[in-house]
Amino acid sequence: RGATNFSTTRSWERRPLNLDISSNMKPPVENVKVSSKGRDILIQAKRHTGLRQWNELLRWAFCLSLANPMKPKFTAKMDTGLEPIEWSTFAGPLSDHFAATFAWRAAQDEVDLADRAALGDYFRAHIERGVTSLRTLKSLESLVGQVS
């Protein structure tokens, strides 16, 4: 498979959506995967923040990426650096919220919500971009400062 580019619409050209996002949303992926480069960044982030669980850092990474108004870029050449984490472990009790927020953002970025492969690629692109944004973390306070 080739690279998927999600950057065809400018962020200021987004159209209003009439999207029914309700509870019991289906997750975009069954397992969250991170590249080897991402794993290395997460190891460093764990050390600097004191957060002990991968899912905690991945949740922060996902939210940081969603907060970025630009569409993430995705390259199909992604190795797996971490053991895949099940969606339920990644999202925990916020599963429906994460799935609904992701579906809303995907629709905003004109990703076909019926195309499971495209949704999976788009989700992984958000995870990788979010993890990359953790690269310069020095403390938990600096992580909180990125979102405030």
**pLDDT, tens digit (0-9, with 9 covering 90-100), for 74-128:** 766 666 767 889 999 999 999 999 999 999 999 999 999 999 999 999 999 999 9
**Cβ-Cβ contacts under 8 Å for 109 (sequence gap 6 or more):** 6, 9, 71, 122
pTM: 0.78
